[in-house]
Amino acid sequence: MFYFVLVFFVILSILVLVHELGHFLVARRAGIWVEEFGFGLPPRVYGKKIGETIYSVNLLPFGGFVRLHGENSEDLIKKPEKAFINKSPLIKAGIVVAGVIMNFLLGIFAFAIVYSVTGIPREAGFVKIEEIKSGSPAEAAGILPGDIVRQVDEIKISSNSDFIANVDAKRGSEVNLLIERSGDEELSIKVSPRKDPPEGEGALGVLISDSEIYYPPIWQRPFVGVYYGFKEAIFWGGAVILGMFNIFLNLFGGVFPKDVAGPVGLFVVTREIAKVGIIPLINWVGIISVNLAILNILPIPALDGGRLLFIGIEKLFGRRILPKLESWLHVVGLGLLVLFLIAVTFREVALIRNLGIEGYLDFLSQQTPQ
């Protein structure tokens, strides 16, 4: 159990530190005094000042933070020219968004590693039989896993949709399949698609695939991996946005959202993925990192999106919101988020207690968009 707890905290630390590194680098570039870059959360255990910045190691061993001079208040500003609050809205927006961008880039990097190792899925241009259901027409006709379907009644087949449409058109009658077996042998097999197949099975009772795994040359894999990693990050970003939209609809409708995982849920899923291997774990890091990027850009006080909202108001009206008012709104927003997180955690604990770990994982998989 200690190993899985350690893995979980390492993943959380990487996600948060990468996020804070984005704020740190852009703030330094903009000439803002970064008072402290902390590893872990206070209280401080050790700190060393290098230049103007204290680099600290803190007691709570996960995540991190960046403390910018004049970030939330005009009080106690010692260097006005290096204070965050005195910079232009464009510079402040760049610093705020930098953390989100870094999490999105981490997601792309994680997915790129996965694709570079496991290969790139692509359209095969043919339909391959992956599995035969017991007692199905396909089994009775002698079709085997690994067979490639080239034609259905003289019609050339190149995709799953082609195969399904042409087979379904012949339900209740006989159809002729041109099969390629073992790479060189061609067979003509007659089979009768069922009119009313069992639930979860098709007319022939086969599991098919029209994709294959492609392994580019080693030198190309990082570039191809980044391309497909970007596409994967966009896909998960869209899925997260859709999920967030549904969550807010449920909340405004007075319904507690079901498809939300808090700290307990994340730990349980991370533990199960860590049992499988390092590559699935890296893929999971990519998914969480994209989730974190989307979550942080939401226009909610205490999140980066909330700060960005106030910066946008400042730019629109040409004047800042009172720093103390903004700081108070961020505190309120943080309090509401913590309360929501506590509610999610209690719900997760109750579900695990009632369903068990396996039942809880099944429950989460049913809530995940397919």
Domains of the chain, by residue range, sit at: 2-118+222-367, 121-214
> In the prediction, which pLDDT does 172 show?
87
- The listed range with the strongest mean pLDDT (132-136, 312-316, 326-330) is 132-136
pLDDT at position 284, please? 92
Contact 250, 237 (CB under 8 A): no
pLDDT for the residue 251: 65
Residue 99 is predicted with a pLDDT of 93
C-alpha dist (Å) from residue 167 to 68, 135, 176: 65, 18, 9
The C-alpha angle 341, 342, 348, rounded to 5 degrees, equals 90
CA distances 215 to 6, 68, 271, Å, are: 33, 46, 29
Top pLDDT among 22 and 200 is at 22
Angle at 355 between CA 354 and CA 357, to 5 degrees: 120
Cα dihedral: 304, 96, 8, 268 (round 10): 30
Average pLDDT, the chain: 85
Say whether pLDDT at 158 is over 50. Answer: yes
Across residues 243-271, what is the average pLDDT?
72
pLDDT at residue 280 tops 50: yes
The domain defined by 121-214 folds into Pdz3 Domain (2.30.42)
Torsion-angle region of 302 (φ positive above 0: left; ψ -120 to 50: alpha; else: beta)? left
Give, in order, the Cα–Cα distances in Å from 324 to each of 71, 72, 224, 278, 330.
11, 8, 49, 46, 10
- pLDDT, residue 74, reads 66
Confidence (pLDDT) at 103:
94
Confidence of residue 368 (pLDDT cuts 50, 70, 90): very low
- Please tell me the least confidently modeled range out of 126-135, 228-237, 318-327: 318-327
pLDDT over 70 for what percent of the chain? Answer: 92
Q: Which is higher by pLDDT, 94 or 60?
A: 94
Q: CB count, 10 Å around CB of 51? A: 9
Q: What mean pLDDT comes out for the span 340-358?
A: 77
CA distance 157 to 147: 13
Cα separation, 36 vs 48, in Å, equals 10
Lowest mean pLDDT among 192-201, 247-256, 354-363: 247-256
| DSSP conformation class of 82 | G
**What value does the mean pLDDT take over residues 106-131?**
90
Cα(298)–Cα(267) distance, rounded to whole angstroms? 24
d(CA 121, CA 194): 31
pLDDT band at 239 (very low <50, low <70, confident <90, very high): confident
Model-level pTM? 0.79
